[in-house]
């Protein structure tokens, strides 16, 4: 029996979302679970997720827990039902902010802290160095400073986008587009 267009479209989206997640360093299955729950009209239980994606209970449980830890899904209980149900955030803007906040917390802030530690490490003996050794340290310090400046600028952009909200970002995007066309 041929697949209905809606089912084919959902299947394609789930597969592509999984592939995209894998390129971002998120497991393909975790991204597929997220996509499935995002498209689901009603909250789904673990058994339904397992059946829909043909994954094991362990994989479903682990990925549901991780998505919950990220704040992208929430666990729901139905009165009189012992099963736990899961529902994805439906607001795309909120989903974007959550992903960006978590990526910043898990990835960007730790590398920024590491860069600051590395800079402190090379600064300890910096004044004692001369010649090539001093130039190497200065070069390395500048590279650390460049990365740190970029990370700080991205953090600022994220904060501004969050403060501006959906409407503000749309307005800023139009202004930037207009600016670029006029150049």
pLDDT tens-place string over residues 144-169: 999 999 999 999 988 888 888 888 88
- Tell me the two tokens of residue 9: 């479209």
Q: Which residue has the tokens 């600028």?
A: 153
Q: How many CA atoms lie within 13 A of 55 on its CB side?
A: 20
User: Nearest Cα to 100, choosing from 156, 60, 147, 148?
Assistant: 156
pTM: 0.80
**pLDDT tens-digit readout, 86-145:** 999 999 999 989 988 888 998 899 999 999 999 999 988 777 888 998 899 999 999 999
Whole-number pLDDT of residue 2: 55
Contact 70, 99 (CB under 8 A): yes
Answer whether residue 1 shows pLDDT above 80.
no
């Amino acid at each position: 029996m041929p697949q209905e267009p809606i089912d084919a479209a959902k299947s394609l989206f789930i597969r592509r979302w999984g592939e995209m997640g894998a390129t971002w360093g998120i497991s393909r299955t975790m991204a597929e679970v997220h996509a499935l729950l995002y498209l689901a009209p009603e909250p789904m239980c673990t058994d339904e997720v397992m059946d829909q994606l043909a994954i094991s209970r362990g994989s479903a449980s682990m990925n549901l827990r991780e998505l919950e830890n990220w704040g992208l899904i929430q666990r729901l209980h139905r009165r009189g039902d012992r099963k736990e149900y899961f529902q994805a955030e439906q607001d795309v803007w909120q989903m974007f902010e959550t992903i960006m906040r978590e990526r910043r917390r898990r990835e960007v802030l730790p590398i920024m802290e590491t860069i600051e530690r590395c800079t402190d490490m090379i600064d300890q003996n910096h004044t004692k160095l001369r010649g090539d050794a001093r130039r190497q340290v200065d070069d390395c310090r500048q590279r650390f400073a460049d990365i740190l400046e970029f990370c700080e600028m991205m953090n600022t952009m994220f904060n501004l986008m969050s403060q501006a909200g959906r409407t503000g970002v749309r307005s800023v995007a139009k202004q930037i587009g207009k600016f670029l066309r006029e150049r």
